[in-house]
Amino acid sequence: MSHLLHLDASARRESFSRTLSGIYAAAWREANPEGEYTYRDLAANPVPHIGQAWTELCDRVLAGQITDIGRYHEVVSTPEQAEAWAVLEPLLDELVAADVVLIGTPMYNFSIPSSLKAWIDQVTFPKMKLTGRRFVVTSARGGAYGPGTPREPVDHQERYLRDFFLGHFAVEDVTFVHAEMVNSLVDPALADRRAVHEQSYAAAREEAGKVALR
């Protein structure tokens, strides 16, 4: 049975990235009526940043060369580590159970929100592979960062997530859907780029629905 894990990271309750991830999720659920759906709002309910005990768990997983995610719990040996495990275990269980991971995220300061980075840090261990799963990222960016644009070199949002999912998790299927130039709606200096935003957002809404059916 298919299982969709849906994460939103925008600090805005009503945001472009949330709208796009919602379009994908609605289309996916309609196409998979028997599928399981798990939702987590990383902004409304932030995941704690990793601490000393988490690093100890990570070191013990690495030292033991443990690659079976189902065996990670075996390294817990102190009350502090048990407390850290209690935080990360449900997050890890949700991730492992999903065959599709949907992430709605804005670009903040050329990269991703700290709320999303905290989730990534909690669920990531050495030599951890999630091969066979699909990752979809719906995002909103204040400017234009696509191929050939002046700001392409400072896009540390898509580049980071793509490199991480492909390189560390060994995921082979990663898709990005971007709505760009959203700052044109509030920045007078970008008012002449609103048509670019509207075109980008319309295309992103259409693409989000299509990607869910692939």
pLDDT of residue 125: 97
pLDDT at 133 exceeding the cut of 70: yes
23 Cβ contact list (under 8 Å, min separation 6): 138, 205, 208, 209, 212
Q: Are 81 and 57 in contact (CB under 8 A)?
A: yes
Average pLDDT of the segment spanning 179-192: 95
pLDDT of residue 1: 67
pLDDT at 18 exceeding the cut of 70: yes
In terms of phi and psi (left: phi > 0; alpha: psi -120 to 50; beta: otherwise), the region of 181 is left
pLDDT in tens, 135-168: 999 999 999 998 989 899 999 999 999 999 999 9
125 Cβ contact list (under 8 Å, min separation 6): 57, 58, 61, 62, 69, 72
pLDDT in tens, 52-94: 999 999 999 999 999 999 999 999 999 999 999 999 999 999 9
Whole-angstrom distance, CA of residue 95 vs CA of residue 116? 14
Q: Residues forming the annotated binding site for FMN?
A: 10, 15-17, 107-110
Domains of the chain and any CATH numbers: 3-48+95-211 (3.40.50.360)
pLDDT of residue 95: 98
Adjacent-strand bridge partners of 135? 101, 174
pLDDT at 207 exceeding the cut of 90: yes
Whole-angstrom distance, CA of residue 41 vs CA of residue 103? 10
Q: Residues forming the annotated binding site?
A: 10, 15-17, 107-110
Average pLDDT of the segment spanning 193-211: 96
In terms of phi and psi (left: phi > 0; alpha: psi -120 to 50; beta: otherwise), the region of 110 is left
pTM over 0.75: yes
In this structure, the number of other CB atoms found within 10 A of the CB of residue 202 comes to 11
pLDDT of residue 214: 85
pLDDT in tens, 93-113: 999 999 999 999 999 999 999
pLDDT in tens, 25-37: 999 999 999 999 9
